[in-house]
Amino acid sequence: MDTRMLEPLAVPEVAPPERSLSPGRWVKENLFSTWFNGVLTVLLAALLGWALYKIGRFVFVDARWEIVEVNLTNILVFRFPRDELWRLWAGMFVLAAAFGVGAGVAARLKREEEGGGGPGTTSPLTTLRRLGPLIAVAGVFLWFAKSVEGTLLVLAIAAVWGVARFAGLQIPPRRARWAGGGVLLAIVLAYVIVTSFGGVGWSEGWGGLLLTVFLAAAGIAISFPLGVLLALGRRSSLPAVRIVCITYIELVRGVPLITLLFLGAFMLGFFLPPGSDTPSLETRALVALVLFTAAYVAEIVRGGLQAVPRDQTEAAQALGLSPLKTTRLIVLPQALRAVIPALVGQFISLFKDTSLVFIIGLTELLAVSELITKQPEFLAEGLIIETLVFAGFVYWGGSYWMSRESQRLERRLGVGER
């Protein structure tokens, strides 16, 4: 008797046919498929056309952008001493080089993971498209600056980034771990260049976009380790630790950021031993931002911890790893990898939320935009629309760029697909 299994018939997989529509069909299908859609299209087109006309007219004809032009340096750095601006440029060169190398190494790692091997090249067009929002913001800044020097410097920074990325692509993956340390070192170096050896400490005159970016970056960097600790504490098997961590996280998540900023602004000095100096308002604001963000980072990391399968811990235990090593070598790396996109999202939130320090009296980007309309030459001119639109555009560029990057990361890491 023949007991051979029946081989499943090999059915060739056929991709759905490419549909190429003539423009007429496309319009019919996408805009006028039903009478309701037709009406909607006409109404919306009229509305959009009108809005576009109004906005376009405002941006290109009516708006008096001279307030932004005159105050460009104020918007970027506010009271930062003009003689020391070279420090910021130098810092940006260092950062561009470091992040270029980092990007190169990451690209190479990704390619090796996908089995490509060897340094290749991504099309520069893709890179440009990915950086689109940032380039738009930088372009607008340069357009207003109308300075050859500034344009050259920005182009030089971009060139340094490109060269560094190329160099990074040559680094073999087994050396990749050095790149991470290098980037951290470069950040410290940039900070030292700006603040030390006669530089300006960040709480004595930073403002504008510089303060916004610094508060966001320092905030997320400091709150990250705190958040990881809180998340681990919340998942601890020790009830006392768990309860303390849950209380902290839920308390902070239940109140608005502004109440914590009030706490920092009006109350933080009271917690220090009597007689000690109260830290600067900038420091207190940063402390409040860190306390706030740590709770949110903790919840994000907790999500990642929960997504690590139990078998991983059990396997580690079976191999005889101590609980500390299990966490550090097995659980955390997998958990953190899964939550990178969400962490970028939290960074975007923080970037936008730094605008709240305006309320306690710091002059970051939004505050400067409001303040410059009160300069004697612009007072009573009513140019607040121009400055707020400009500030909004800068915020939008940064956030939109990062949110697209995080979506890309999400796809690449396959989060939510496992």
Tokens of 379: 């007072």
85 lines the binding site for another protein (CB under 8 A): no
Q: What is the 3-state secondary structure (H, E, C) of 65-96?
A: CHHHHHCHHHHHHCCCCHHHHHHHHHHHHHHH
- Which one of the spans 5-13, 59-67, 100-108, 249-257 is the region binding another protein (CB under 8 A)? 249-257
CB of 339 to another protein, least distance (A): 16
Nearest to 289 by CA among 204, 205, 220: 220
The tally of CA atoms less than 13 A away on the side-chain side of residue 344 is: 17
Say how far apart CA 375 and CA 382 lie, in whole Å: 11
Cβ atoms of 236 and 363 closer than 8 Å = no
41 lines the binding site for another protein (CB under 8 A): yes
One-letter amino acid at 378 equals F
User: How many binding residues for another protein (CB under 8 A)?
Assistant: 54
- CB nearer to another protein: pick between 196 and 259: 259
Say how far apart CA 330 and CA 305 lie, in whole Å: 11
- CB nearer to another protein: pick between 156 and 384: 384
Q: Which of residues 363-402 bind another protein (CB under 8 A)?
A: 366, 370, 382, 384-385, 388-389, 391-392, 395-396, 399-400
For tokens 């955390």, the residue is: 332
Q: What is the per-residue binding string for another protein in 250-289, x denoting contact by CB under 8 A?
A: -x-xxxxxxx--xx--xx-xxxxxx---------------
Say how far apart CA 51 and CA 394 lie, in whole Å: 21
- CB nearer to another protein: pick between 55 and 155: 55
Could you count the other beta carbons within 10 Å of the beta carbon of residue 134?
A: 14
Say how far apart CA 353 and CA 258 lie, in whole Å: 10
Please select the residue that binds another protein; options are 161, 353, 372, 410, rule is CB under 8 A: 353
The burial of 95, by beta-carbon neighbours within 10 Å (0-12 exposed, 13-18 middle, 19 or more buried), is given as buried
CB of 399 to another protein, least distance (A): 4
Tokens of 409: 């990361």
CB of 288 to another protein, least distance (A): 11
The residues that bridge with 364 in the sheet, in sequence order, are 208
244 lines the binding site for another protein (CB under 8 A): yes
Positive/negative CA dihedral, 242, 248, 253, 255: positive
- CB nearer to another protein: pick between 31 and 189: 31
Say how far apart CA 233 and CA 93 lie, in whole Å: 40
Please select the residue that binds another protein; options are 6, 9, 148, 240, rule is CB under 8 A: 240
- CB nearer to another protein: pick between 74 and 212: 212
- Which one of the spans 14-22, 150-158, 345-353, 405-413 is the region binding another protein (CB under 8 A)? 345-353
306 lines the binding site for another protein (CB under 8 A): no
403 lines the binding site for another protein (CB under 8 A): yes
Say how far apart CA 88 and CA 77 lie, in whole Å: 10
Say how far apart CA 77 and CA 91 lie, in whole Å: 14
CB of 144 to another protein, least distance (A): 19
Tokens of 115: 């089995």
CB of 58 to another protein, least distance (A): 11
- CB nearer to another protein: pick between 144 and 358: 358
Tokens of 373: 């309309």
Please select the residue that binds another protein; options are 21, 25, 28, 30, rule is CB under 8 A: 30
Provide the binding-site residues for another protein, judged by CB under 8 A: 30-31, 33, 37, 40-41, 44-45, 48, 237-241, 244, 251, 253-259, 262-263, 266-267, 269-274, 348, 352-353, 355-356, 358-359, 366, 370, 382, 384-385, 388-389, 391-392, 395-396, 399-400, 403
